[in-house]
Structure 1
Amino acid sequence: MFKIGLIINPLAGLGGSVALKGSDGMAEQALVLGAEPRALTRTQLALAELTDLKDRFTLFTVAGDMGETVCRQLALPFNACYRPASPTTAEDTRNAVASLVEQGIDLLLFAGGDGTARDVCAAAPDGLCVLGIPAGVKIHSGVYGVTPAGTGRLLAKLVRGEPVSLMEADVMDIDEAAFREGRVRARRYGEMLIPGELSYVQAVKVSGVESDELVLTDIADDIIERMQEDDDCYFIMGSGSTVAAVMERLGLENTLLGVDLVYQQRLVASDLDARGLYQQIRDKKSKLVITLIGGQGHIFGRGNQQLSPEVIKTVGRDNIWLLATKTKLNSLQGRPLRVDTNDPELDRALGGLMRVITGYHDEVLVRVANPEDEAQ
């Protein structure tokens, strides 16, 4: 018999429909505003995929709405191993994890959002396989299925004994209080072992395959975390959709085909020209956030001439944060990155291996070179 642990955060997702940007500490307010619980319904959608496999698994769960209620509704076999407080708390989630692990479960299934994933991660022992049912407002963590039904189908594969590979996935969360004020503060809280099936799991990348939307979110969260560590720095935000994803996560207006300036996560100036940009940063600590042009690989000199040689020299090569998805890099088919600043000496100085940020705490080294240098 396959042993499944089940934990539901019945308060997950309450804040979404009433525009509270999350549910952490906001459950009572959300209910007053008319929010309807959704975690139990979404757990039903996942577990419905197992109804024909009742003779192959046993559920170990939590009393009441943290698991027992749904098991009874679907007439699934279960044992209630922990009784939570009322209303339930994050401590109940952590205590429930410990109780279910004592039962020798093969996998821990949980329904919630990023806050729930954090609580599970804090209590789960290393090596425990987990799988999340997406039920919260914030779902940045890679431990969740793409949909409740997708989660259930993947779990059904495991129950049937089909081979499924395993992978480590990040547990992410943002500061909801800051988010409600328009500031995004993302942080990685750890990683957990999950079944690694791209068709069903909300993974950013598995076996080289990427979801562009999730990858851009990961890149943006990485950059925002770096910005928070450099709070006294001015950030030049270059053009392009990859940089635009960072500005969107910051909640700032963005000039898609222009250059903006950000300080302490606030917009200082928009759509600057080369002279105006240089005047703004010439005596300040600054960094440049930029992407490359897909297909051709140019970093400078194609549509971003506002980034003049004077600006680039003032910033310095080591303070350039280059962003790109691996899909965009692969489109170069092995060709190097290019720079065309109209300053040959600067072009040569920018050559060599450059770090490219391709995800959250994920970088690759790519060569910057130009035809005239390669011919020498």
Structure 2
Amino acid sequence: MRRIGVVVNPIAGMGGRVGLKGTDGKVAEARERGAEPRAPDRAATALESLAEVADGVTLVTYGDPMGASLVRGTGFDPEVVGDPRDPEETTGADTRAAVRAFVEAGVDVILFVGGDGTAVDVAETLEELDDETPILGVPAGVKVYSSVFGVSPRAAGRIVASFSETERAEVNDIDEDAFRGGDVVTELRAVATVPVAEQRQSAKQLGGGTVETLAEGVADSVEPGVTYVLGPGSTVGAIKEALGFQGTTLGVDVWRDGEVLVEDAAESDILAVLGDRNVVVVSPIGGQGFVFGRGNQQLSPEVIRRCDLEVVASRRKLDTIGTLRVDTGDPTLDDDLRGWLKVRVGRHERRLVEVR
């Protein structure tokens, strides 16, 4: 009988849609901006998926809001091995305490819900204990750079219930303050044991190649009266420069008819300035292939539904990705986006790529 430890970081990802690019040290500000918890819904989806394929598993979890009610809500009767010190303000210390309790309880795998910061808390605690219990993340944070996550909540739930082999994978994190300032400063924080699974995401690759011709092609094709929602990343950043403004490298900017309507926009800012016709321009994350759901949660399902989609990428990036992925938080929208998509790779050239 497999024993699965489940721990939820309830504040993970709250800063995404309100444009904070992370929640570390920014919970109060995120709430002031109207942020809603994202992790509980992601956890519920993963647990529902787990329940569909689980056969003779026992779930071990932590007290609310870090798992107990969510696990019970999926039909399991979990072992609860502890409680956070302050349920109103959980911290990484609570995640680390949960991991220690899971190890003492003899779990076979740990399913955590959060982002890279949560992954660091889990992996570093296991390293301190000299323990090699496998871990797998349900992606719920703004930053998901590490290769210890399922490609979606449903995939993570299925994997922990059914995997048979493990391997070692990197846990990376970035400096959120530098990230908000436009710099990506990554650091290898730990190496963890993870399930071997096709539906586990790769580590994000940084770097890319020249995109000047691609950017010029997009800039040349803009249409009067159309609102362009320009996502984060260096490829779309080159498009912003071709349009005549610097833009926010790791944020979302909105542009129409030669004017920047909003810089570093939150979801609400974007919705407020959308027009009759809108185009969202995004580039997949190198090494992972995510178009939505990683680092651009400002591009919410409501925003996406009101826009046409333009995906841009260098040929080199597409060669390293193979397929594209979406994880918007809305399963119906994800299904609508899946299929074959023409990705712009040059001034006029496009390549047909599958979205999974």
TM-score for both structures, normalised by structure 1: 0.55
- Say yes or no: does 1:152 pair with 2:139: no
Q: Amino acid of the residue matched to residue 113 of structure 1?
A: G
The residue number in structure 1 matching 2:205 is: 218
The residue number in structure 1 matching 2:33 is: 33
Task: Report deviation, 1:254.
Answer: 4.0
Task: Report deviation, 1:325.
Answer: 7.2
| Corresponding residue pairs, total | 229
Q: 4+ residue stretches of structure 1 with deviation over 6 A? A: none
Larger radius of gyration: 1
Query: Does the residue aligned with 1:115 lie in a helix, a strand or coil?
Result: helix
Q: After superposition, give the CA deviation of every residue in 1:182-233 in whole Å (9 maximum; x if it has no partner).
A: 12211111211111211x11125xxxxxxxxxxxx4243xx9xxxxxxxxxx
After TM superposition, the structure 1 = structure 2 runs for residues 264-279 of structure 1, keeping only pairs within 5 Å, are none
Task: Report deviation, 1:153.
Answer: 1.6
Query: Does the residue aligned with 2:137 lie in a helix, a strand or coil?
Result: strand
Q: Structure 2 vs 1, CA of residues 183 and 83 (structure 1 numbering), >3 Å: closer, same or farther?
A: same
The residue number in structure 2 matching 1:69 is: 69
Structure 1 residues 118-127 or 130-139, which shifts more? 118-127
Task: Report deviation, 1:172.
Answer: 1.0
**Which is richer in helix?**
1
Task: Report deviation, 1:157.
Answer: 1.7
- Say yes or no: does 1:141 pair with 2:140: no
Does the aligned pair in 2 maintain the 1:183–1:250 contact within 8 Å? Answer: no
CA distance in 2, matches of 1:133, 1:20: 21
**What do you get for the CA RMSD once the two structures are aligned?**
3.2
CA distance in 2, matches of 1:255, 1:112: 31
CA distance in 1, matches of 2:236, 2:317: 22
Query: Does the residue aligned with 1:70 lie in a helix, a strand or coil?
Result: helix
TM-score for both structures, normalised by structure 2: 0.58
- Say yes or no: does 1:115 pair with 2:135: no
Task: Report deviation, 1:118.
Answer: 0.8
Query: Does the residue aligned with 2:45 lie in a helix, a strand or coil?
Result: helix
Higher relative contact order (Cα pairs below 8 Å, separated by 6+ residues)? 2
The residue number in structure 2 matching 1:239 is: 210
Task: Report deviation, 1:28.
Answer: 1.4
After TM superposition, the structure 1 = structure 2 runs for residues 291-310 of structure 1, keeping only pairs within 5 Å, are none
- Say yes or no: does 1:190 pair with 2:190: yes
Q: Amino acid of the residue matched to residue 63 of structure 2?
A: A
Q: Structure 2 vs 1, CA of residues 149 and 326 (structure 1 numbering), >3 Å: closer, same or farther?
A: closer
CA distance in 2, matches of 1:23, 1:66: 17
The residue number in structure 1 matching 2:107 is: 105
Q: Structure 2 vs 1, CA of residues 325 and 29 (structure 1 numbering), >3 Å: closer, same or farther?
A: closer
Q: Structure 2 vs 1, CA of residues 58 and 187 (structure 1 numbering), >3 Å: closer, same or farther?
A: same
CA distance in 1, matches of 2:18, 2:317: 33
Identity %: 38
CA distance in 2, matches of 1:121, 1:54: 25
CA distance in 1, matches of 2:77, 2:2: 12
The residue number in structure 1 matching 2:201 is: 202
Query: Does the residue aligned with 1:84 lie in a helix, a strand or coil?
Result: coil
Task: Report deviation, 1:43.
Answer: 0.8
Does the aligned pair in 1 maintain the 2:211–2:235 contact within 8 Å? Answer: no
Q: Structure 2 vs 1, CA of residues 170 and 251 (structure 1 numbering), >3 Å: closer, same or farther?
A: same
Task: Report deviation, 1:40.
Answer: 1.0
Does the aligned pair in 2 maintain the 1:60–1:78 contact within 8 Å? Answer: yes
Does the aligned pair in 2 maintain the 1:48–1:74 contact within 8 Å? Answer: yes
Does the aligned pair in 2 maintain the 1:54–1:76 contact within 8 Å? Answer: no
Q: Structure 2 vs 1, CA of residues 156 and 184 (structure 1 numbering), >3 Å: closer, same or farther?
A: same
Query: Does the residue aligned with 1:6 lie in a helix, a strand or coil?
Result: strand
CA distance in 2, matches of 1:39, 1:111: 7
After TM superposition, the structure 1 = structure 2 runs for residues 153-168 of structure 1, keeping only pairs within 5 Å, are 153-158=158-163, 164-168=164-168
Task: Report deviation, 1:34.
Answer: 0.9
CA distance in 2, matches of 1:326, 1:253: 18
CA distance in 1, matches of 2:90, 2:166: 31
The residue number in structure 2 matching 1:346 is: none
Q: Amino acid of the residue matched to residue 38 of structure 2?
A: R
**Unpaired segments of 5 or more residues in structure 2?**
216-231, 243-248, 250-315, 321-356
The residue number in structure 2 matching 1:178 is: 178
Does the aligned pair in 2 maintain the 1:129–1:194 contact within 8 Å? Answer: yes
Q: After superposition, give the CA deviation of every residue in 1:282-336 in whole Å (9 maximum; x if it has no partner).
A: xxxxxxxxxxxxxxxxxxxxxxxxxxxxxxxxxxxxxxxxxx77957xxxxxxxx
The residue number in structure 2 matching 1:10 is: 10
The residue number in structure 1 matching 2:289 is: none
The residue number in structure 2 matching 1:51 is: 51
CA distance in 2, matches of 1:189, 1:145: 19
